[in-house]
Chains A and B, each alone.
Chain A
Amino acid sequence: MFRDTISQQDKELVFFTRELINQHIVPRALEYDALGNEQFDGSALDILAEYNLLAPIISPEYGGRGASYLVTAMLLEEIGAGCAGVAAAVAANIQSIAPLLAAGTPEQLGHYLPLLTAPQTSLGAVAMVENGVNLDVLLPTEKVAKHGSSLQAQRSSHGDIINGCKDYVMNAATAKFISTLVEYPECRDKTSSGFQLMVIPLDVPGIKKGPSGRKLGLRYCSTAEIEFKAVKAEPQFMIGGPESGLELFKECMDKTVPLIGAVCVGVARAAYQHALEVSKERKMAGHPVFEESAVRHSLVSMASKLNAARLSVHHACWMIDKGMDHTLTSPQAKIVASQAAQDITSRSMEIVGSQAYVNGNPAEKYLRDAKMLSIVDGSEQFHRFLLASQL
């Protein structure tokens, strides 16, 4: 239904991406997963960079493909079906530029966007989550007062100085810049939460990357802690007006969260297809297990959920593209897609059977990736909360 709304050229791009992923990424997906971000192998991203797929949403003005959110979701599904870790790196890339697309100055756009559309890989990192504290920034103001952000800026006569630490920074290892939420404690009052979104090049003095953490899922996507020690906040770092950060952050999240949903759909699709193939090959008492009604019915449930999840994601993206109110549909898409991904990947494990529990089987990778996807970019619980406050 939504597929019919995109142009022929975009459809071809989606199919081309599927071919590309099947050819280059699928055969090495398990290897990427095994290497993890401890021994990061950039080749997967290099292939995507070569075909300008690291941030397809950027407009042609800055060298991008100018894909709509709907097309981007389709592309991310294809990449996610190959390797969710690679797709997560692309999604984090898009997240890192989302604040710029929403409120960046022409200089910022001209400086950062072409980096991501160049044929050499360069990534943007995104750091919204706090070290220790969670996404409590979005809770009512009395809560913020208690927690706040761990990345704080102090106004001084020499300009603003940022101190603090951000944890779980996606794409941290190789990123050229970071988009982050910085708190000005002295500016927090009844009318303002005191947050400012910033885009900061990672080569400025005072920024230190911590070691990459070992994650259970999305292992290809490098994740690390980034420490800020007396980093001078230049005026060109600021995105949007002072203290508009929280609103802008929410706006960006509403736009990028369906894309994480698209990665969920990709993983779920891969897990479903794997289970379907195995069920037709694996024999029990001389018959393929596919002939068992329990297995058949499980596969039908998986297919129906996958269909519904994909439609939710496409719907949310379509709403964004049309400029309609998407604050409801975006968290809905994330909830449905990440639940579907977890259910489908765990059913896939069951159908594949004992082999699925052996390290290096695709099914177990899908399971780990799906679980991780339900947590990144706001956990399901968080989005439920966000959604409920609008019902």
Chain B
Amino acid sequence: MNPRPPPAVATLLEVRELAFARRDEPVFGPLDFDLESGEIGLVEGDNGSGKTTLLRILAGLLHASSGTVRVDGLAAGDPAAAGTALLLGHQLGLKADLSVRENLATAAGLYGRRERCGLDDTLVEVGLEGYADVPVRQLSAGQKKRAALARLRLLPARLWLLDEPFANLDRAGIALVNRLLDVQVASGGAALVTTHGAVSFRDQATRRIALS
């Protein structure tokens, strides 16, 4: 069983004249860029430059002030496009009272996946072997991040929106993120990654988007 769609070059993300203003103060924009399957986009900018905001707009959680976003040809926030994009934010979306396994089973259930399929292998892959039944509240910050990264591996999303995926991770963790990105790209997906530049990001990025 192949968990991912076959690679085919397609424009997964199409951003046109996208601008955002909070209380009429411009935050960023207008931005124009595309992201095709097999590409990794790097969003660079200082603190407060609107990186998180940009990802939330692309995910369809937030309305832009102007401009358009199309995810896989559909407007962001369109119910038909739901599930195409996966957002990994600062808040990892993990329930502290549930175990790693229960958290991932919930995430898989939301995407209509069988919870058992590949869960143990995935945990080995993200370096959480033996932690499956540990409540998330007992994990370290880096381990929580790894648990959230396991979601990327389990869910069938073609577009990843990763907000500071390297934060809280050690050297091995950074390598893990890079490995996950490689797999995503190889299977015809795409990813948009934000970083404030503190972590040296391996030269995978095929596109750079700078927020001033």
Partners in one complex: no
